[in-house]
Structure 1
Amino acid sequence: MQILIHADVGSDYSSSKVASVAYMIGDQNGKLVDNRAFDMRLLPIMSGVPSALQYSAGASLPPGDYTLKLAVVEGGRVGSIEHTIHATLGQASGMTLSELMVGGPIEVGELLQPTIGYQVTFGAVHGYVEAYGAKTDGITVEYEVAKDAESPALLDVDVPPHAAGEGRMIFSKVMPVHQLPPGRYLLRAVFSEGGRSVKTLMRAFEIAPPKVLMTSADGLTSSSTFDTGLFLPIDEGAIHPAFQRETATHPETLEPFIARVDDSAKTTFRQGVSFLTAGDFTKAEASFKQVINPDTDSTAPLAYLAASFAASGHDIEAASAWQTALVDGTDLPQIYEWLGGALMRNHAYGEARAILEEAAEKWPADTRFTKPLAMLHATFGSGREAMRTLERYLEERRDDRDAYYMAVQWIYLVHAAGAYVHNRADDLKLAHSYAAAYERAAGPQIPLVKQWIDFLDNEKR
C-alpha cells in the first residue's frame, strides 16, 4: 500500500527554509520497516503569506498497524511528532476505497491530485478519494461539510467521477467555505448506489481565522471609513436578475405605457405586446418600431422595444433603448427597474448603481430599487451602505427569504472582518430577527445560518 505522509512545520513562515527532516516507521512489534533522513527546502503554502512549511512524502507498506516518528530541525527550532498509522483500504458494496484526503488548496480548478493539510486558509476545502473495482461505475458520491458526524450538512455538493484507468475512479472536488465561521469541521464523503448510502468516510479540518483584519471595529463604525473596501458576497443569479417578460406584459404594468401611446398607434402597440407575450420577439420588435415617431411621445414603444430585446437575450441593445426611453420617461419607475437589471446583466455595475440611486431618490419606498442597490453597494465594497440599504428593504418586504439569508450572512462577515454595521448589540438583535424569519420561512440553509448566529453570539472583542 502507498502511504502519504504530510506535516505542517511551524506556523509563521513567509518564505522557504532549509530544514533537516527525519522519520522512521515501525510495525506493531517495534520492528523498523522504513526510515529516512535528509536536508530539504520546505515551502510555505504561499510565498509572502505567513503559514506552516509544507512537508510531504510517501512510503510503501503492507497492510497493518504502524507507528510513525517524524522530527524536523529548522535553524534553532526543533520539533517532533509520533503518529499511529492504520494501513488498510476500506470496503463497500464490492469496491475498495482509499482514505478520504482533505486540504486547503490555493487554486480552485479541477484537481486530480490530493491536497493534504488540516488547516484551510484560502477559503476552499479540497476533498479527494479513490474507488477501485469493477462496481465503481454505479457509484455516486456527495461531499458534505458539517460540524461533526451527526449534525446536518452545512454545505453539500455532488462529486462527479473521473476515470483514471481500468477499475479506478477519482472523486475530487474543491468546495468554497468562505461563508463558514473559523473553527473545526468535518468533511463527509457519502457513497451511494442505487440511491442508497453504502459508505461514509470522514476527515476533520479547520478553517483558519483571517490573518489580517481590514481595519479596526471602531474605525469601521464611522461612515467616513467604513465603506473603503468591505466587499460582501452576492449570489451570481441575484446580481444578474433575469428579465421578467410576464411582469412587463401584465395589464397593470402596461396601463401607464398604453396611456402615453397616440390613439392612432394603440392597435399596433397592443399587437406588439401580444407578440412579446407569445415569445415572437422578431414580430414584437417590428411592431414597436412602427409605433416610434419623433413627432409624438415614443417612450412606450421604445420601452417595449427594449423589453423585446431583453426577452430575447440582447441586453446591450435593451439597455440602449431603455436609456433613450428615459429621455421623456423619467416618471416611469418600471424603466429604471428594467434598465438597472439590463446594466447588471451586462456587468455595467457602475452605471446600474447610478440609475438605481436616481430611482431610489425619486421613489424611496419602492422596494424594486433597494435590494439591487444593496447588492451593488456590496459589490463595490460599500459594506455599511449595502447592509443599511438591505435593512430598509426588509422593513418593507418581509416575505423575501433569500434576503433574510443574505442579511445574516452580511452581518456575520462584517463582524468576522473585525467591524460593526451599527454596534454589537444592535447588529446581534438584527441578525437574530433575520435568522428567525428565515427559519420561519423554512429556508434550506438553516444549519449554516445557525453557525453564523453562534459565531456572533460568542465572538470576543
Structure 2
Amino acid sequence: AFERLASEISAYYLLSVEQAPSDNDGRNHRIDVSVQRRGVTLRSRQAFVLDPTGGRKTAEESLIESLRSPLAVAGVPLRLTSFIYQDPKASGKVRIVLAADVGQAGTAPGQYTMGFIVVDDLGKVVASRSEKLKLEPLEGRKNASLSYLDAVSVDPGVYDVRLAAVDADGRHGSVVREVNAWKMAGEEFTYADLVVNHAATASAGLRPDVEPHVDADGVAAYMELYAASEDTFKDVKVNFEIADDDSAPALLTMPVELRTGAQPTWRNALGFIGAEPLPAGRYVARARVLKGDKLAAVLVRPFILEPAPASKGGPIVIPAAFARVATFNRNAVLEPALVNGWLDSIATRSPSLKSAMTEARAGRYSPAALEALSAGDQQIAAFLKGLDLYAKGDINQASIQLNIAAGPRKEFYPAALLLGACFAAGGRDRDAAGIWQMALGTEDRPLVAYTLLADARMRDGQADAVISILKPAYAKNPGNDDLGKRLAVAYLVTAAFGEALPILDNFLTRHPNDPDALFAAVLAQYQVSLVTGAELSSVDKAKLLKYEKAYKGPEQALLTKYVTSLGVTR
C-alpha cells in the first residue's frame, strides 16, 4: 500500500462531491472526471459505493486516506514538531526526529495506528513507516495529550512530513509540516536543533517534545554542534536563555560548557536553568550561539512552566551582589573606636590599671600587658597580650591568651569577641559564632558584634539563626543599613518575603536607586501577592512602578515580568 501511495502522491487533485440520500444504497454509482487540457493522462476512480450499513474502513485504509490528503484531517487532533541532527551512523545523512501530541488534553491511553511519509521537493516519497502501538502521556504529565516519537534518516533537503493517526474507534487525523533538514556533514561549522524538557529527565537523555511541561526545578536544554576541525570550537560559546517569546529580552541566562560529542569534531551543549524565579506560564528557551564576537545562531523552543507546589514556598532568587555574605575581615575588631571603648570600660572598672591603659591607648599592647600583670590583674594582662598578638597576625598564640581572658563562660566580652575573631580568621565560622553567641548575653553590644555573628551564621548556612540574632537588634536600630540588609537577606533566603518587604522598603527610603535592593523588594512583593492572592492596593502598585522606573540593572526584563504579572501597568 505504501509503495502504491509513493507512486501516486507526486501529483494529484483532490475533488469531492456531496452525496445524495439515494446514493447510500450499496450499489455502484458511476463517477466521471474529465479535463479540457490535451495530452494529459487522467487516472481517477470510476465508481463509488456507499455501504447502507455504514461499513468501517480498516485502520490501514483510514491511515492511507489521511496521508493522501494534502490538507490536515481533523478527526484525531495532532500537533507535530521536528528536530534535526546529524546521523552518527549514516555518513552524510540527516536524522529527523518527529515528536507529536496525539488527541486532546486528557485523552485516555490507547491503541493507535500511526504512520508518516516524508516527501521531497520533487513529490517523491523518500521515507515512510506505519505501526500499531499503545500511546500514553509522558511520565509525570497530568491531563495531557498522548505522546508519539519516531525518527528517520534522509539526505539533506527540504521535505513535507505528513503524520497520520487512527484510533481504536476508527477516527483518523493527519498533520503536514515542512521540515528543513539542512546539510551538516562536511560543513565548516553548523549545529542541530535545540531540545528542552524537564530537568529531572536529563539523566536519562532529554526526550524531544512538542511543548514540554516543566516545573520550577528547572529546564534542561541540549543541542549538538558540528565542525570540520576541532580548532573551530576554540572561539565558540553557547548561552541558554529563557524569555517570554522569540524576540523578548532574556529573563534568565546560563552559559553552557561544550563537551566532546560522538565524534572528535562534534560538541554537545547541555545546560540547566533553574526556573524558580519565573511565574507559571508559557515561555521559550533559546540557545544563543556565538562564534568569536559574532552571533552565529539563535535556536528557540517553547515550553510551559507549571505552577510551583505551595509547599516549595516560592522562588528564592536574590541578586548576587545584595545577598553576598561578606568574608571575615580580621581588622573589623581592631577599629580604634571599638578598641578604645574596651579600654575605657577597663579603666572605669579598674582604676589601678591607669598605667596599663596609657600604654594600650598608645597602641603598645605588649608593654600594657606587663603593666597589668605587675598590677596583679592576670585577666586584663592576658587580654592585652592576646590583643597584641592578634594585631600582629599571630592568631594561634593570640587565641590561647584570649581564651584565658574570656573566662570559662566567655563572660569578659572584649576577649570573647577577639577569640571568636581568631576562629573566624581561620575559617572556623561555626566555632566563632558559638563563642560570639555565648558572649552576647542580654546586654547591648556594639553593632559590629551582631553583624559579625550574623555573617558567620550565614556563611555556615544558618539563615534562621541570623534572623533570631538580628531581629531584636534591628528593632532598636531600624535606620542601620548594615543590620537591615543582612536581616532582609535572611528573610528572603528563608522565603519569609512578607517580613523582608518592609525592611527593604525602609532601606530604599535612604537608597532609592540601589538596583539590588530594588529587585529584591519587587521580588518580595511578587511573592507576598502570590501567596496571599490579594489584589494590590493603589499604594503598592504605585510603589512597584516607582521601583521599576528606578531600577537600572541586568535583571530589568525579569523585574518587569514580576511587575506586569501582578497586573501593574504604566
TM-score under structure 2 length normalisation? 0.66
SS of 1:104's partner is strand
1:251 equivalent in structure 2: 336
1:47 equivalent in structure 2: 140
Please, which of 234, 237, 249 is the counterpart of residue 138 of structure 1?
A: 234
Please, which of 273, 286, 291 is the counterpart of residue 192 of structure 1?
A: 291
Question: Structure 2 counterpart of 1:190, which letter?
Answer: V
CA distance in 1 between partners of 2:434 and 2:447 (Å): 17
Moved more, 142-151 or 58-67: 142-151
Q: Would you say how many aligned residue pairs link Structure 1 and Structure 2?
A: 438
1:23 and 1:36 in contact (8 A); partners too: yes
Does residue 298 of structure 2 align to residue 201 of structure 1?
Answer: yes
SS of 2:179's partner is strand
Does residue 398 of structure 2 align to residue 298 of structure 1?
Answer: no
SS of 1:154's partner is strand
Question: Structure 2 counterpart of 1:128, which letter?
Answer: Y
Gaps in structure 1 of 5+ consecutive residues: 215-227
2:20 equivalent in structure 1: none
CA distance in 2 between partners of 1:416 and 1:258 (Å): 52
1:428 equivalent in structure 2: 541
Deviations 1:147-196 (A, max 9, x none): 56665443333221111232211122122233244344351322223xx2
User: Cα distance, 1:83 vs. partner?
Assistant: 1.1
Deviations 1:29-71 (A, max 9, x none): 3322222233334444443644444332211111111111223
Moved more, 66-75 or 307-316: 66-75
2:421 equivalent in structure 1: 307
Please, which of 468, 482, 488 is the counterpart of residue 374 of structure 1?
A: 488
User: Cα distance, 1:381 vs. partner?
Assistant: 4.1
Question: Structure 2 counterpart of 1:208, which letter?
Answer: L
Structure 1 pair 198–326 and aligned structure 2 pair: CA distance change class (3 A): closer
CA distance in 1 between partners of 2:175 and 2:393 (Å): 68
Structure 1 pair 301–437 and aligned structure 2 pair: CA distance change class (3 A): farther
User: Cα distance, 1:275 vs. partner?
Assistant: 5.7
1:224 equivalent in structure 2: none
Deviations 1:174-231 (A, max 9, x none): 22233244344351322223xx22512321424436287x5xxxxxxxxxxxxx9744
Structure 1 pair 292–412 and aligned structure 2 pair: CA distance change class (3 A): closer
SS of 2:299's partner is strand
Please, which of 142, 161, 167 is the counterpart of residue 68 of structure 1?
A: 161
Question: Structure 1 counterpart of 2:179, which letter?
Answer: I
Structure 1 pair 346–79 and aligned structure 2 pair: CA distance change class (3 A): farther
CA distance in 2 between partners of 1:277 and 1:435 (Å): 46
Question: Structure 1 counterpart of 2:547, which letter?
Answer: Y
SS of 2:200's partner is coil
2:264 equivalent in structure 1: 166
CA distance in 2 between partners of 1:177 and 1:61 (Å): 36
TM-score under structure 1 length normalisation? 0.80
SS of 1:107's partner is helix
**Which one has more relative contact order, counting CA pairs under 8 Å at least 6 apart?**
1
SS of 2:441's partner is coil
User: Cα distance, 1:273 vs. partner?
Assistant: 5.4
Gaps in structure 2 of 5+ consecutive residues: 1-93, 348-352, 367-382
Question: Structure 2 counterpart of 1:170, which letter?
Answer: N
User: Cα distance, 1:394 vs. partner?
Assistant: 2.7
2:102 and 2:147 in contact (8 A); partners too: yes
CA distance in 1 between partners of 2:117 and 2:479 (Å): 71
Deviations 1:113-158 (A, max 9, x none): 5654434522333332222221334132231534566654433332
CA distance in 2 between partners of 1:348 and 1:139 (Å): 42
Question: Structure 2 counterpart of 1:171, which letter?
Answer: A
User: Cα distance, 1:428 vs. partner?
Assistant: 2.2
Please, which of 98, 102, 106 is the counterpart of residue 5 of structure 1?
A: 98
1:12-411 equivalent positions in 2, closer than 5 A: 12-13=105-106, 18-47=111-140, 49-72=142-165, 80-89=174-183, 95-107=188-200, 115-123=208-216, 124-132=218-226, 133-134=228-229, 135-145=231-241, 146-147=243-244, 152-164=249-261, 165-181=263-279, 182-185=281-284, 187-193=286-292, 196-197=293-294, 199-208=296-305, 210=307, 214=310, 230-235=313-318, 241-245=325-329, 246-261=331-346, 267=365, 269=383, 272=386, 280-293=394-407, 298-327=412-441, 329-398=443-512, 400-411=514-525
RMSD: 3.7
Question: Structure 1 counterpart of 2:491, which letter?
Answer: H
Question: Structure 1 counterpart of 2:546, which letter?
Answer: S
Structure 1 pair 359–54 and aligned structure 2 pair: CA distance change class (3 A): farther
CA distance in 1 between partners of 2:174 and 2:503 (Å): 53
Task: Work out which of the two has the higher radius of gyration on C-alpha atoms and give 1 or 2.
Answer: 2
User: Cα distance, 1:310 vs. partner?
Assistant: 1.8
SS of 2:424's partner is helix
SS of 2:484's partner is helix
User: Cα distance, 1:352 vs. partner?
Assistant: 2.6
CA distance in 2 between partners of 1:296 and 1:104 (Å): 55
User: Cα distance, 1:239 vs. partner?
Assistant: 5.7
Greater strand fraction, Structure 1 or Structure 2:
1
Identity %: 22
SS of 1:5's partner is strand
SS of 2:566's partner is helix
Question: Structure 2 counterpart of 1:377, which letter?
Answer: Y
1:144 and 1:153 in contact (8 A); partners too: no
Structure 1 pair 168–337 and aligned structure 2 pair: CA distance change class (3 A): same
2:288 and 2:295 in contact (8 A); partners too: no
CA distance in 2 between partners of 1:278 and 1:295 (Å): 26
Structure 1 pair 310–131 and aligned structure 2 pair: CA distance change class (3 A): same
User: Cα distance, 1:329 vs. partner?
Assistant: 4.5
1:9 and 1:53 in contact (8 A); partners too: yes
CA distance in 2 between partners of 1:255 and 1:239 (Å): 32
Structure 1 pair 331–100 and aligned structure 2 pair: CA distance change class (3 A): same
CA distance in 2 between partners of 1:141 and 1:178 (Å): 25
CA distance in 2 between partners of 1:187 and 1:388 (Å): 36
2:112 and 2:134 in contact (8 A); partners too: yes
CA distance in 2 between partners of 1:416 and 1:242 (Å): 31
Structure 1 pair 12–321 and aligned structure 2 pair: CA distance change class (3 A): farther
CA distance in 2 between partners of 1:179 and 1:231 (Å): 8
User: Cα distance, 1:318 vs. partner?
Assistant: 0.8
Moved more, 18-27 or 256-265: 256-265
1:136 and 1:169 in contact (8 A); partners too: no
2:319 and 2:519 in contact (8 A); partners too: no
Question: Structure 2 counterpart of 1:56, which letter?
Answer: L
Question: Structure 2 counterpart of 1:403, which letter?
Answer: A
